[in-house]
Structure 1
Amino acid sequence: MSNTNSDFHSRLLRLSEPIREILRRTQYTPQQSSKVSTKDIILSLLPNNEEEEDSHASIKNLALACALISSSRSSTHELLSWIPENLCVAGESALHEISKDYFSDFPGNNDEKVEELMVVDSGKKRLVIELLPIVLPELKDGIEKSSIGKNNDAEDVSASMARTPIGYGILAAHQLRWFVAQVEKPNLAKICNLVVPCALTALDHSSPEVKGQGMVSFVHLAKNVSSGDLGLYGEVVLDACCQNIASDDEIWIHVVELSVLLVTKLQQNNPRSPWHERIMNEMLGHLERQPRNKERRIAWLRFIEPLLNALGLFLLAHFRRIFPLFFQWMHSDDAETVLLVLDRLETIVRLTWIRNSPVIPRLVEELVSLYKESSMRKERDEIRPLILRILMLLRKCKSLQFESAWSQYQEDPNLSTVGKYIWTSSS
């Protein structure tokens, strides 16, 4: 076994040398504000000649180094943005080769426990799955130690100064995201109890960057496991989502996607769930405070559809908050907002049939106004068919109220073809 360890360590050194060489040639000046040198961290994780470490520890550290390197492809953060593409390629190549060597040189890694856990199509994925029980607790600890507490008193501030710099937590969160993303169904369900505590620690962090990586990890998890796999963690994760809805602009898109994905997965077929109500109200409240924030409204409109479908008729309780926002956004300068609003409007009308709602006259008025405005937009041919579909739905589900609202436009020569189209198509 000692010869095997020695041979394997030699191959680790050889395969990691291209990474070390590219790192030597790559210019990198650490940001003074971060107090962290990513380059030094990667170098410290690479195997060295000074002593032959335990093979399992060496390969774990090399995998952590490759995770950091590969994370630069999905991040613009200053700690990772300096990493060149050729370094990413070298890291992936090394990990691929080491994975093959690892399982061929150590037959004990093919035992029944490992085989039970893994249904995989590559050596790299198999190696990641074996490393996760060791790596995730380390990453959780690194994230936790770098977080500033939620309290603002002097004692907490003093304690936070003695903590690990936040940069280490940011890097650990990117490593977490990379490791989790390598595993898919059905394997991810079998290690859910390892992933969830680590990702929750990231969501509870003081840094938006760490929170964001935790959310992306949770999104991948939710897409690859069942509601039963999340087990008792379900409500804990939903509560963490609610607490993070009032988040920084840079991670709003992640918290919206995650919140909708989780609540519809965990509370499916239960539109009366208080979680539906709480998450929808938290989001609407935040949008009401910043209705002109383009990035936030687009993210919400893009991901909210599954929650609208889950609520169904219970959307009626949210009309007084949804429609004022929609009426404002319908006349936005950017076409993406307008088209998304019209798509979501059609969904709401289809699901609720606008039962006993005083909103119909105002809705018809705003749709007519937008139809006229769209004549000056280059997206006119995309906007107008959506408006016509909504008007036809309104006439079909609330004919008397719609006809009353439409009566004031009957003599408008600019809308004569619209009226004929609605009546002909509806009938």
Structure 2
Amino acid sequence: MIACANSFSYKACHLIGFIKEGDRKNSKMEDTRLELLKLSEPIRESLLKSNHNPPEGTNVSVKSMFESLLPDRVSEKAIRVEIRDFCLLCAALASAEEAKESALLSWVPRELRTLAVTTFKEVSRVFVSKFSEVELGPRVGEFGLDFDLLSDEGKLVVELMPEVLPLLRGNIKESSIDAGDDGDEISDALARTPVACAIVAAHQFRWFVTQVQCPNLGKLCSLVIPCGLVALDHWSPAVKEQGMISFIHLTKNVKAAELGFYEDVILDTCCQNIASDDELWDHVVEMSVLLLTLIQRKNPRSPWFEKIMNEMLGHLERQPRNKGRYTAWLELIDPVFECMGLVLLAHFRRIFPLLLHWVHSDDDKIVLLVLEKIHIIIKLTWIRKSPYVGRLIDELIVTYKEASLRRQREDIRNEVLQILLLLQKCKGLQFEAAWNKHKDDPNLTALAPAFCTESTAVV
């Protein structure tokens, strides 16, 4: 009888202790909710005062979407969800700084964008120390991150990533075009979810990704890459753009080995996106160059170099006068040239006609860019067995003479001279035969002596 009484007493005490622990936990949760409400109040007020007229043809209010992410005093949501949603709101508002041209986000005033950044920092400072209290973490412990290298904001971002990125991926996917769609594919996609939701999700995704740098970002590739690929596969240029910016940041902050089995999928997606509109060309070229050289740096004969180079050259050949496209390509392509080395010989028949066309541009900057590419190609390949040597020398001579009417005449003439001296060294008699046609030209009197002095420096 005494044993039963003792057993009952123990169970009762244990139950009372459990209830008290639950009460303390609920009290902490309530305190946390009140802190979150206090921190979010300035954004709530600023957001309510902001004017927003949805663009024509848009059946969703982005402002209303943002307001739904604000914490509420009376809410059935778990506190973790409240914090997650509010961080998503801060991400959307902060990312509007880079979306000034977007009709969906351009209405966000600068003061609200700045407030979102500072509020997120404050939320991070307050809640990072309370992860265990609000059941926030450690959700990413299995990724092996070095938390000592992260700021408070970075810690909150990576703690939320395992939950936030799949959620954003789903939001983007809902308005994408499926392979099995029939009829008007875009209309079918919009019927499922307005594209505005995908655009906002893409901006939030990009903001979250760009808050993490090396070495921690490489350990999160399994979370980041699937969401990024969905963004790149989307039909909306606005969504694609955010995916490209995210991959550019990713490539600058990870090692090739950290991309794992996604390598071929990523490079195939690059190939598919090279056909993007003019507004995305800069991003797709930069993304493709960075990813290709990161993944295939030690394999210049990789078929991916051929595929991506041919895809780029094909679009440049179809629009050889599109200055925006060829300027971006000339500015960004160097790392691919450096990696390919002698393999560039296989692309001479497509590269040189374009370069020799652009070298006569009326823009001095373009002329210098083209001459730099020619110089790099000659140094890398020694321009072996090429039928373009004679024509190249003729075009360089014309460029040298045209420079007399240009503002950057000295820079252009010096670059032409260095290329010709390099050609003299690597082509010998072939160069002499081509030069002999021009050596008596009175407009080249300042150039001719350079080819009679073997000690002239070549850079």
Please name the residue that 2:21 is paired with: none
Please name the residue that 1:273 is paired with: 302
Structure 2 CA distance, aligned partners of 1:113 and 1:199? 19
Q: How far off is 1:156 after superposition?
A: 4.2
| Counterpart pick for 2:321 among 288, 292, 299 | 292
One-letter code of the match for 1:92?
Answer: V
Establish whether residue 61 from structure 1 lines up as the match of residue 85 from structure 2.
Answer: yes
Structure 2 CA distance, aligned partners of 1:81 and 1:335? 35
Residues 248 and 157 (structure 1), Cα distance of their counterparts in 2 relative to 1, 3 Å cut: closer
One-letter code of the match for 2:145?
Answer: L
| Counterpart pick for 2:177 among 148, 151, 168 | 148
Structure 1 CA distance, aligned partners of 2:342 and 2:139? 50
Please name the residue that 1:77 is paired with: 102
One-letter code of the match for 2:312?
Answer: M
Instruction: Check conservation: 1:388, 1:422, Cα contact below 8 A.
Output: no
Q: Deviations over 1:189-240 (max 9, x none)?
A: 1110011110000111011111111111111111111111101100001001
Structure 1 length normalisation: TM-score?
0.96
Please name the residue that 2:450 is paired with: 421
Bigger mean CA offset, 105-114 vs 301-310: 105-114
Establish whether residue 211 from structure 1 lines up as the match of residue 240 from structure 2.
Answer: yes
Structure 2 CA distance, aligned partners of 1:222 and 1:302? 18
Q: Deviations over 1:280-299 (max 9, x none)?
A: 01110111000111111011
Q: How far off is 1:371 after superposition?
A: 1.2
Structure 1 CA distance, aligned partners of 2:352 and 2:180? 37
Instruction: Check conservation: 1:125, 1:183, Cα contact below 8 A.
Output: yes
Please name the residue that 1:16 is paired with: 40
| Counterpart pick for 1:354 among 363, 383, 389 | 383
Please name the residue that 1:302 is paired with: 331
Residues 125 and 158 (structure 1), Cα distance of their counterparts in 2 relative to 1, 3 Å cut: closer
SS of equivalent to 2:292: helix
Structure 1 CA distance, aligned partners of 2:413 and 2:97? 39
Q: How far off is 1:124 after superposition?
A: 0.5
RMSD in angstroms over aligned alpha carbons? 1.8
Establish whether residue 26 from structure 1 lines up as the match of residue 50 from structure 2.
Answer: yes
Q: How does 1:19-418 map to 2 (within 5 A)?
A: 19-51=43-75, 53-75=77-99, 76-107=101-132, 114=141, 116-119=144-147, 120-149=149-178, 153-154=182-183, 156=185, 159-418=188-447
Instruction: Check conservation: 2:140, 2:162, Cα contact below 8 A.
Output: no
Q: Considering fraction of residues, name the structure with more helix.
A: 1
What is the total number of aligned residue pairs between the two structures? 427
Q: How far off is 1:15 after superposition?
A: 1.1
Bigger mean CA offset, 152-161 vs 198-207: 152-161
Q: Give structure 2 stretches of 5+ with no counterpart.
A: 1-24
Q: How far off is 1:262 after superposition?
A: 1.1
Residues 148 and 279 (structure 1), Cα distance of their counterparts in 2 relative to 1, 3 Å cut: same
Q: How far off is 1:121 after superposition?
A: 3.5
Please name the residue that 2:10 is paired with: none
Instruction: Check conservation: 1:298, 1:336, Cα contact below 8 A.
Output: no
Residues 266 and 124 (structure 1), Cα distance of their counterparts in 2 relative to 1, 3 Å cut: same
Q: How far off is 1:336 after superposition?
A: 2.5
Identity of aligned residues (%): 50
Instruction: Check conservation: 2:285, 2:328, Cα contact below 8 A.
Output: yes
SS of equivalent to 1:409: coil
One-letter code of the match for 2:265?
Answer: V
Q: How far off is 1:159 after superposition?
A: 3.4
